[in-house]
Structure 1
Amino acid sequence: MAVVVVSGRRVLVIDTATDAIVTGLVTVRAGGVDEVSSRTVVDHRRHAEMLTTLMRECLTESGWRGVDVDAVVVGCGPGPFTGLRVGMATAAAYGDALGIPVYGVGTLDAIAAAAARGSQARSILVVTDARRREVYWARYADGRRVGGPGVSAPAVLQAELAAEPVDLIAGGAPPHWAGGTEPASRNPGRPVVDVAPDVVGLASVIAPALLAGSPPDPLVPLYLRRPDAVELADQKKKRGS
């Protein structure tokens, strides 16, 4: 069966896998992805409270109605359990209500795409805060993911960096990335840029599938480890046994 490539798509974009609540509207065409309206608010405690409000603001600003949206793109992590499920549940509900496809993308892939814009870096390491003094990470070479996503102690990842240097570190590494010092001081010559996932980067990752009208894969959250609530329950069971 021939693949039909449409001229363009109006897309709602959501990501709550990091401390940043990201949402907005983009148009996806063969020539690229154009931002129409977006909001990014850094507040890891208010994902559920703020997301739908920010979505409404973007629709109002753009002049679009909900029924004008052709598809939804949502970041699937890796990220903390609570924040990540807010965005994914909202995206799934929105798509179900309107009968439109919902495409999941890797949040680290979107950060890499955002970091690569306007950069000459051929190799990128994306690092985000996984809490518990750990980081989520993924490596990219010439626009392709070549390692990860994974979750590691910063010291483990930094040891690997010494053996396999990269041109650019992106994603807003947390303070414990370098034992309380800036990561640049431990990685001389490797620029470190604080990049959150953005609506253009998120949509760019899945743009070919959007334009081809390919059916989306099932939404699968990428936690990389069990949520705190499960671990706490397990600890209580062990104490009671």
Structure 2
Amino acid sequence: MPETRWTLAVDTSTVVCAALARDGDLVAEARLEDTRAHTEALAPMVQQLCAEAGIPVSGITEFVVGVGPGPFTGLRVGIVTAATLAALAGATPHGVCSLDVIARQAVRAGDAPEEFLSVIDARRKQVYWARHDATGTRLDGPHVTDPAELPDLPVTGPGATLTGRAGFGVEALSAAVMATDWADLPDAGLEPLYLRKPDATVPTSRKSTLLPTGLTPRRKSTSRPGRLKGEPA
């Protein structure tokens, strides 16, 4: 009898979300609407899903992770968590583009137009986006731009409201679709799709310890303080 296939899907490109499927059927899913709690929330969330399914974390056999595009810290937490759990299980983690997941959701909902854009909030008044056809196949992207620079196409996804257009279909990325449909999505590898430089950077120059021209360092005196009257030499 074939072994039961347990699939864990996690995505931290937006908020923290995860789902668990058994042989392609959704068993449990969880979501935390917080864009800054990835580190604290993901591991307990995975444990919660396994408890609901009645299996240990070691019972998971497949691991799927969204590689963005998304913020630096959030993506790292999701990818490292999935890769670590997969390594412990002796499995290979599978990376998928988070925008492809959104497009898949729109297709499954049955209202995807001939061409459309999947959109995620990139902060700094920008959006991540990709162009897809009616089957969810990615035709272009991913990109990060100002909303005004998007092609004139219907939009869907958690960043659709930032475009000033009426979005359709998908308002939040679903880890459940990742867990059940990941094999139908293109392999995106495990490199995070940051698309732009981080806010924090490492200094490229060292602080000089040289004195300005014409100045000399003060030497610390090594002589004893002056003696008080009557003090022996």
Q: Same fold (TM over 0.5)?
A: yes
Q: Identify if the C-alpha distance between structure 1 residues 131 and 174 changes in structure 2 by more than 3 Å, giving closer, same or farther.
A: farther
CA distance in 1, matches of 2:118, 2:75: 18
Worse-matched range after superposition: 97-106 or 121-130: 121-130
Q: Identify if the C-alpha distance between structure 1 residues 8 and 144 changes in structure 2 by more than 3 Å, giving closer, same or farther.
A: farther
Worse-matched range after superposition: 139-148 or 73-82: 139-148
Cα RMSD (Å): 2.6
Give, in angstroms, the shift of residue 170 of structure 1.
Answer: 1.3
Q: Identify if the C-alpha distance between structure 1 residues 221 and 205 changes in structure 2 by more than 3 Å, giving closer, same or farther.
A: farther
CA distance in 2, matches of 1:115, 1:21: 20
Contact kept, 8 Å, 1:75 with 1:105, in 2: the verdict is yes
Contact kept, 8 Å, 2:95 with 2:190, in 1: the verdict is yes
Q: Which residue of 2 aligns with 1:3?
A: none
Q: Identify if the C-alpha distance between structure 1 residues 50 and 109 changes in structure 2 by more than 3 Å, giving closer, same or farther.
A: same
Q: Within the alignment, does 1:22 sit opposite 2:14 as a pair?
A: no
Q: Identify if the C-alpha distance between structure 1 residues 143 and 194 changes in structure 2 by more than 3 Å, giving closer, same or farther.
A: closer
Q: Which residue of 1 aligns with 2:119?
A: 127
Q: Within the alignment, does 1:138 sit opposite 2:130 as a pair?
A: yes
CA distance in 1, matches of 2:110, 2:184: 22
Contact kept, 8 Å, 2:67 with 2:188, in 1: the verdict is no
What do residues 113-156 of structure 1 show as CA deviations (whole Å, max 9, x unaligned)? Answer: 11221223232311111011110001110221111111011111
The structure in which a higher percent of residues are helix is 1
Structure 2 residue identity aligned to 1:229:
A
CA distance in 2, matches of 1:48, 1:149: 25
Q: Give the counterpart of 2:144 among 143, 151, 155.
A: 151
CA distance in 1, matches of 2:82, 2:34: 19
Number of residue pairs aligned between Structure 1 and Structure 2: 204
Worse-matched range after superposition: 37-46 or 195-204: 195-204
Structure 2 residue identity aligned to 1:203:
A
Contact kept, 8 Å, 2:18 with 2:46, in 1: the verdict is yes
Could you say which structure has the greater relative contact order, defined with CA pairs below 8 angstroms and 6 or more residues apart? 1
- Which consecutive residues of structure 1, in runs of 5 or more, have no partner in the other structure? 1-5, 185-190, 210-215
Q: Which residue of 2 aligns with 1:223?
A: 194
Q: Secondary structure at the residue paired with 1:11?
A: strand
The structure in which a higher percent of residues are strand is 1
CA distance in 2, matches of 1:35, 1:175: 29
CA distance in 2, matches of 1:100, 1:7: 14
- Which consecutive residues of structure 2, in runs of 5 or more, have no partner in the other structure? 209-233
Q: Which residue of 1 aligns with 2:214?
A: none
After TM superposition, the score normalised by the length of structure 1 is 0.76
After TM superposition, the score normalised by the length of structure 2 is 0.78
Q: Secondary structure at the residue paired with 1:140?
A: strand
